[in-house]
Amino acid sequence: MITFNYPHYTNKISRKTDGSNLTTKLYVSDVETADTYEGVYSIMNAESNISHENYILNFDYMLEIGAIS
């Protein structure tokens, strides 16, 4: 939490929080290795990664505030 302490004009400061377009996207870099045929560990090759993208989307915040279900 951030607190501002100003002696004047504090009654004109307001804050509006809008998380309607908030999405968390984490890009996961490949890791070079000699342990695999391709020579890298990558989330793009994971069986559980249906889209085979190199990123992870997290919508926990949107679920928490009830914006999506």
Position 14 confidence tier, pLDDT thresholds 50, 70, 90: confident
The domains of the chain are located at 21-64
Query: In the chain, where do the E strands start and end?
Result: 24-27, 31-32, 40-41, 55-58
User: Taking 90 as the threshold, does the pLDDT of residue 54 lie above it?
Assistant: yes
Phi, psi of 26 (to 5 degrees): -115, 115
Please write the tens of the pLDDT for every residue from 18-50: 766 666 888 999 988 888 888 888 999 889 999
